Amino acid sequence: MRGSPFWPTGFVAFSVAKATSFWFAFAAFLTDQKVLIVIGLGTVAFLTGPAWHLWIPRLFLRDIQRGSHV
């Protein structure tokens, strides 16, 4: 993803942050740490998840508007 001009640098870094927050929440479930579960789920459910899923359509719409889609 980093080498492709389609994916903005910020999106790649944000994708890594989203994946990290997901795995943090997963590890919290495995260790049954309630405070960490709340932090992890809150981050994924209310911050990184929605923002990432709203960014994806904007990238594809940008591509379609340029007329460079396959």
- State the 10-residue block means of pLDDT for the chain, 70 residues long: 74 92 95 95 94 90 70
The predicted pLDDT at position 29 comes to: 95
The 10 Å CB-count burial string (b at 16+, else e) for 8-43 is eeebeeebeebeebbebbeebeeeeeeeebeebbeb
In a domain, 36, yes or no: yes
In a domain, 46, yes or no: yes
In a domain, 27, yes or no: no
Range of 62's domain?
32-70
In a domain, 55, yes or no: yes
Domain count, the chain: 1
In a domain, 17, yes or no: no
In a domain, 64, yes or no: yes
Percent of the chain with pLDDT over 90: 60
In a domain, 5, yes or no: no
Percent of the chain with pLDDT over 70: 89
Burial of 57 (0-12, 13-18, 19+ CB in 10 A): exposed
